[in-house]
Amino acid sequence: MPDLLAAALAHAARGWHVFPLRPDDKRPAFPDHTADDCTGRDPRCRTGHVGWEQRATCDPDRIRRAWSTRPYGIGIACGPSGLLVVDLDVPKDPDDIPPPEWAGACDGWAVFATLADRHGTPIDPFDGFGPDAGPRTGIDATYTVGTGSGGSHLYYRHPATGPELRNTTGDRGGLGWKVDTRAHGGYVVAAGSTVAGRPYAVSLDYEPAPLPTWLAGLLAPAPRPPRRAAAVSLPADRHGRYLAAAIRRQVAHLTAAPDGQRNHALFTSAVALGQLAAGGALTDDDVTAVLEPAALSIGLRHAEISRTIASGLRIGARQPRPLNGIREAA
């Protein structure tokens, strides 16, 4: 445990937000349930599901308390840490072969090298990032971790401007075979940890380099067309005016949320309107109809939106807000 504690503190000292993983495992130690299964009975979820990303911290006191109790592995939450990590994996068995587009590639390094070459920054996939890699290859050397499976994690700084980058997976909307990325909403196993007895260790102890421009361009989400909130049938009286104003406030609150706080803003808006739904003034479908387009317009994804709205509605239902006694619209 002392080595894991020291490693966790060292990562936090770099500004990376850490959280406990189950010992010798990739899975988060807390919480023990997903957002979909959250009942709010866990004291930490009284105001809504709080997962590993929200609990990740740089606070040395919290880190000491956690890693002094069990030999937890170390997870790094990429979004709060301002990181984008490129995960270059290796085949798991002889039948794990590249698709035709990547024929001849032996692993994720080879695919990444091909992508870099296509964008004018050739690298040697078998040499990795040596001390002279930056000047020689045109791509900056960066903090690199060798994974337990024999792959590599390349740590880059998430761009300070532009869209919030999310996770990608291989050929399924990602960069290519055996190349995943982790950013907002994702985490990586940190150096100093083990998984199934295999260590994660630093291969190159540089500061994370800026994310290459060509790589940021490949990972940027496609622009979304503007979306308007769906019309919700409201009574033509003071209650209807109050509800219309409440909806406008929550949509404005959501669309004004900065990067990194958008999912939480969606949750709080769903709680607020969920209280009105529980009081009989709206339906759950009404809440979804007005919040979903706004959430999509700021870059949140369908699955994430559905889970967050459902969680907010569950929490809001605990404190119904009937409209009886309301005198005028806000």
Domain boundaries, the chain: 2-219, 238-316
3-state secondary structure of 109: helix
* Stretch 291-319: mean pLDDT: 86
pLDDT at residue 40 in the model = 67
pLDDT higher than threshold 90 for residue 23: yes
pLDDT higher than threshold 90 for residue 233: no
The top-scoring range by mean pLDDT among 25-39, 41-55, 236-250 is 236-250
pLDDT at residue 4 in the model = 97
* Stretch 96-117: mean pLDDT: 92
pLDDT higher than threshold 60 for residue 135: no
pLDDT at residue 226 in the model = 53
| Mean pLDDT (the chain, rounded) | 85
pLDDT at residue 328 in the model = 44
CA distance 34 to 146: 29
pLDDT class for 305, splitting at 50, 70, 90? confident
Nearest to 138 by CA among 124, 151, 152: 124
CA distance 83 to 257: 20
Neighbouring C-alpha atoms within 13 Å toward the C-beta of 228 = 3
Q: Record the pTM.
A: 0.71
Q: What is the pLDDT of residues 179-195, one digit of tens each?
A: 999 999 899 999 999 99
